[in-house]
């Protein structure tokens, strides 16, 4: 996959938006290019044309790495937020939020943007990221799959019962999607199953539950810490008592061995 094909892929699934009249996508063009550069092979065995092709393109393994790096850049909902909204997956959540609450969606992108700054993602956990990377990859794939399935035909976005809209992509579905997007057909963000969800309220409820969960965990950890300190102090006290008894017994044995003074 060349850099042009990678950027086209990001544009087709709606992650990069280059049209000024439309709201920005999840990624800037520069971010998409950096993901490509960091994912491709960085060395070549020789100066042959085949090695140069590998150096300038993504191999299948490189593409998988690019998906991981992509997931670590996107703004994605937590599992608790999905539960509060009643969404089956992150794809359904994000597409419905884009359609029903555009302003809230832009706020969501800012508030849920990963805070790590190193391009290789080595500081991901240092910035308090609570979602594991494997879960972010799963969310990203769900978003891509739902975007393709609900835009492969003119009626797919609104007809959730259409044959093929099952969360699994086939070659024929991706071909239909590619044809429509290549012809300039805009993406549809409609998700009927979440049309009546108040996303602002769902996010607030999830945040409150998360705070309560964190507080409960802190209280539990404090209780365990106090118990541990109490056990340590008890063990120290028992040890001091045992040492005092041994010392008293040793002194008593010395007195007995010396006998009475003449």
**73 or 120, higher pLDDT:** 73
Question: pLDDT tens digit string along 84-118?
Answer: 888 888 988 998 888 888 888 889 998 888 877 77
* pLDDT on residue 207: 79
Dist. CA 34–CA 20, nearest whole Å: 22
Question: pLDDT tens digit string along 136-148?
Answer: 999 999 999 989 9
Q: Determine the average pLDDT of the residues in 162-176.
A: 77
Q: What is the DSSP letter of 29?
A: H
Lowest mean pLDDT among 88-97, 157-166, 223-232: 157-166
* pLDDT on residue 165: 63
Q: Determine the average pLDDT of the residues in 179-194.
A: 81
Q: How far is CA 183 from CA 68, 79, 91, 175, 180, in A?
A: 29, 36, 24, 12, 5
Q: How far is CA 187 from CA 76, 127, 177, 197, 218, in A?
A: 19, 34, 10, 21, 44
3-state SS assignment for residue 48 = coil
**Which residues, in sequence order, are bridge partners of residue 16?**
27
State which H helix or E strand residue 211 sits in. helix 199-258
**Which residues, in sequence order, are bridge partners of residue 27?**
16
Q: Determine the average pLDDT of the residues in 208-217.
A: 71
Q: Determine the average pLDDT of the residues in 172-183.
A: 90
- Mean pLDDT, the chain, whole residue set: 82
* pLDDT on residue 67: 95
Retrieve residue 118's tokens: 């190193």
Q: How far is CA 28 from CA 23, 24, 97, 154, 202, in A?
A: 12, 8, 20, 28, 27
CB 13 within 8 A of CB 147: yes
Retrieve residue 144's tokens: 């891509």
3-state SS assignment for residue 179 = helix
Is 25 a residue whose pLDDT tops 60? yes
- Domain range list for the chain: 3-197, 198-262
* pLDDT on residue 237: 83
Dist. CA 182–CA 47, nearest whole Å: 35
Is 160 a residue whose pLDDT tops 60? no
Q: What is the DSSP letter of 154?
A: S
* pLDDT on residue 185: 87
Dist. CA 211–CA 241, nearest whole Å: 45
pTM over 0.95: no
Q: What is the DSSP letter of 16?
A: B
Is 64 a residue whose pLDDT tops 90? yes
């Amino acid at each position: 996959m060349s850099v042009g094909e990678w950027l086209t892929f990001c544009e087709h699934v709606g992650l990069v938006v280059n049209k000024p009249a439309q709201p920005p996508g999840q990624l800037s063009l520069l971010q998409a290019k950096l993901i490509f550069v960091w994912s491709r092979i960085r060395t070549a065995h020789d100066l042959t044309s085949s090695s140069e092709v590998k150096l300038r393109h993504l191999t299948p393994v490189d593409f998988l790495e690019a998906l991981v790096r992509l997931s670590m850049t996107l703004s994605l909902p937590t599992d608790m937020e999905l539960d509060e909204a009643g969404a089956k997956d992150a794809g359904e959540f994000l597409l419905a939020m884009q359609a029903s609450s555009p302003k809230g969606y832009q706020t969501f992108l800012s508030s849920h943007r990963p805070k790590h700054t190193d391009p290789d993602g080595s500081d991901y956990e240092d910035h308090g990221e609570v979602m594991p990377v494997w879960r972010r990859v799963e969310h990203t794939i769900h978003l891509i799959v739902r975007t393709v399935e609900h835009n492969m035909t003119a009626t797919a976005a609104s007809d959730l019962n259409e044959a093929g809209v099952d969360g699994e992509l086939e070659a024929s579905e991706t071909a239909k999607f590619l044809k429509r997007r290549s012809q300039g057909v805009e993406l549809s963000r409609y998700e009927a199953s979440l049309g009546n969800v108040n996303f602002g309220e769902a996010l607030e409820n999830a945040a409150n539950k998360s705070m309560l969960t964190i507080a409960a965990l802190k209280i539990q950890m404090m209780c365990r810490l106090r118990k541990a300190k109490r056990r340590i102090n008890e063990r120290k006290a028992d040890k001091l008592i045992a040492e005092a008894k041994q010392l008293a017994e040793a002194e008593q044995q010395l007195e007995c061995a010396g006998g009475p003074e003449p």
